[in-house]
Amino acid sequence: MQPITSITAHNSTQPPSSQPIPASEKIKYLLVGLFGVGLWYALYSQLHRLAELLAFSLLGLKPGSHLGESVLFFFYDTPKVFMLLTLIVFAVGIIRSFFTPERTRKILAGKRESVGNVLAALLGIVTPFCSCSAVPLFIGFVTAGVPLGVTFSFLISAPMVNEIALVLLYGLLGWKVAALYLGTGLLIAIVAGWTIGRLHMENHIEEWVREMHLNAAQIPDEQLTWADRIGHGRTAVRDIVGKVWIYVIAGIAVGAGIHGFVPEYFMAQIMGKEAWWSVPISVLIGIPMYSNAAGIVPIVEALLGKGAALGTVLAFMMSVIALSLPEMIILRKVLKPRLIAVFIGVVGAGIMLVGYLFNNII
């Protein structure tokens, strides 16, 4: 007969391979990881030289010529973006294996509003959920007693603070722009959610949601090993890089075209600081546009290089990734039109504010 302890040691839902790894395994993972990052960095630091070699020596293009600069931009940015993307998506995949929507809900349920808004915005970055889960997630949060405003902070931050956008901004425009994006994205999610909470619009949620009494389902809590978590990272790379590579290349190609052929300061008149109307128009244009963060950032970089103002361009990017028409349509199933309008209004206003702020201080 089997001793009882061996049964309790295993959760029935987990695959039999899940054993706690011994310390020596952990050290092995750590060493392999360090070696990998070292190799990654060595290659990364040589990319510009390789791109020059390819564009100017091998293809014989002239440095400084329109075509030469475009081709160099493409050959340099494409591998750079892919290397950054792979590293970050892998790391984020591992971090996300520590969070689930169920755990996040447990943390947020019963939190006071202001604290809850901040927590929700932060958790929005690291909680994995498929974008089409937004509606079930909304129902799950609201019925579990997560305040409406806190739920919104989560739903705004999740798409707005996007790890792909963050890494691309860092790689193409430097850490300052990336930090600005991260900080203001979080701030918009916190303040917009808080504002929606202050407006007390609970009765603008569809009746059937409010009447719903969820019996908290018994959902198996998975016990993951480090091997599982690394597997999560790998799956994330395969899924995300496999999905966005085409947008990245298209984005970089458009960016390369702008970079080499559009005259300097051309964008200054349309998207420059002096054109005050450019911020609201950028936000409006961004709403129906639905693009991947991966495709939009190379274009952003190219626009900036041609004299577009940072605030305007950031506002445009945030609007494209955070306010999407398909999401609004799907949220209509649980929210009445007025609440959706308030959602768009508050988030849009926040994005515009960020746009003006950066146009005026930088």
Quick one: which of 44, 52, 91, 102 contacts other proteins (CB under 8 A)? 102
Decide: is 197 part of the binding site for other proteins (CB under 8 A): no
Structure tokens at 96: 């996300």
330 binds other proteins (CB under 8 A): yes
Instruction: By CB under 8 A, tell whether 100 contacts other proteins.
Output: yes
Orientation of helix 293-305 relative to helix 66-96, angle to 10°: 140
Q: Does 137 bind other proteins (CB under 8 A)?
A: yes
- How far is the C-alpha of 93 from the C-alpha of 100, rounded, in Å? 12
Kindly write down the DSSP assignment for every residue of 76-118, as one continuous string.
HHHHHHHHHHHHHHHHHHHHHTT--HHHHHHHHTT--HHHHHH
Q: Which residues of 98-123 are buried (b: 16+ CB within 10 A; e: fewer)?
A: ebbbeebbeebbebebeebbbbbbbb
Instruction: Pull the structure tokens for residue 64.
Output: 């400084």
In the shown chain, the binding pattern of residues 139 to 178 toward other proteins, with x for contact by CB under 8 A and - for none, equals xxx-x-----------------------------------
Which of 188, 178, 150, 121 is closest to 323 using CA atoms? 188
Q: What track of x and - describes contact with other proteins for positions 49 through 88 (by CB under 8 A)?
A: ----------------------------------------
Query: Which range touches other proteins (CB under 8 A), out of 8-16, 185-193, 273-281, 317-325?
Result: 8-16
Binding of residue 325 to other proteins (CB under 8 A): no
Select 73 or 141, whichever has its Cβ closest to other proteins.
Answer: 141
| Non-local CB neighbours of 253 within 8 Å, separated by 6+ positions | 74
* Strand, helix or coil for residue 36: helix
Query: Any contact of residue 90 with other proteins (CB under 8 A)?
Result: no
- Which of the ranges 10-18, 39-47, 152-160, 302-310 carries the binding residues for other proteins, by CB under 8 A? 10-18
Number of residues that bind other proteins (CB under 8 A): 33
Number of H helices, E strands in the chain: 19, 0
Q: Which residue has the tokens 């425009």?
A: 173
219 vs 285, which CB is nearer to other proteins? 219
Residues near other proteins (CB under 8 A) are 12-13, 15, 100-102, 105, 128-133, 135-137, 139-141, 143, 208-209, 212, 214-220, 330, 333-334
